[in-house]
Structure 1
């Protein structure tokens, strides 16, 4: 690995892979508990408030990025874009949860998509984001490609599956808090082989015709 890429994977003295995995487990626990409390008739703002309450109950140290919970067409929004309005979740609807939380001084980052009701295309979209994530993660494990090639593979596989991958969302570094001091950049721009326990693989897809999408992310570990 080049010196530049080594610097992009730098960590602080407190960093431990097992604590990264602990932070991920706790963040996933939060995602699942929040999803259990979200239902039709709830507004996005109410879901975010629920998220904060759940995180406090789980004993988080702090959030390191704002909690994003997107309903309906807002599932097409990227991380940096604001939701349109404060929509109500419908009886047959789609939404995702995206959380960045610090536990034990380490950064958890997890996200997944959920569906209310029985709309088959929404269910297919939510499942496709997870399936694509799993395919890309398996490619990382077996081929040990760099981050650029990893997202090239992701885009090709998404097209084969009939979905559009949002290439503005290309993963990022995590570490002991705050990871920003290490300036690792996006996973999709990293030209080295990503090490375990340092990178979040993000997948955001859009339905090819309908105004919604799906999201899934987790730690490459």
Structure 2
């Protein structure tokens, strides 16, 4: 499949609608981050996410709500959480939402820290920093998806973290994007078009059992 086919969109697609879906998804992520508190079970936080999304007027979810606490922040999207951990007073968690708004796919995720663990805070900050640096590299150089993830791995290592290269980003568009079978961003050799690709960054602490995640639409 050539690059044009991998970046195909449906008849409903509008860049402005992708931006709208992006913004609405981030609104919910930020709201949920304030509602998730120490003492909650991971399953309770996931249920809360679903309730908040319904209240926000989502059309549907296009991928399952994902909330990870503590050591489960090292898990990839397709891996199950270990048990049902309770968020501790000093802990780390991330939220990953894939939601359809106005017939377009929003996908956003970020990591948050409760308590005063400096390394957890640094890890969460680093995931956003690496994302920002890779996004800027894309804008300045027009690098392809594979090159972007090579750059991400270099930047993560330079900052003292390990990049999980099993997480390589993916396509979005007007729902459903899956019909285009475009593969992962990290395997896409060409420069990704704006408004079509999610850049995902997942880091791991080099020694302690936790990580951090950040994703957003390349625009």
Shift of 1:179: 0.2
CA–CA distance in 1 between the matches of 2:147 and 2:61? Answer: 31
TM-score of the aligned structures, taking structure 1 as reference length: 0.98
CA–CA distance in 2 between the matches of 1:110 and 1:18? Answer: 17
Match of 1:218 in 2: 216
Match of 1:129 in 2: 127
Match of 1:43 in 2: 41
CA–CA distance in 1 between the matches of 2:113 and 2:73? Answer: 12
Q: Does 1:154 align with 2:140?
A: no
Q: Does 1:63 align with 2:61?
A: yes
Q: Does 1:201 align with 2:199?
A: yes
SS of corresponding position for 1:66: strand
SS of corresponding position for 1:70: strand
SS of corresponding position for 2:2: helix
Q: Does 1:185 align with 2:183?
A: yes
SS of corresponding position for 2:107: strand
Structure 2: runs of 5+ lacking an equivalent: none
Segments ≥4 residues shifted beyond 2 Å: none
Q: Does 1:174 align with 2:155?
A: no
TM-score of the aligned structures, taking structure 2 as reference length: 0.99
Q: How many residues align?
A: 219
Spell out, residue by residue over 1:60-103, the C-alpha distance to the aligned partner (whole angstroms, 9 max, x if none).
00000001100000000000000000000000000000000000
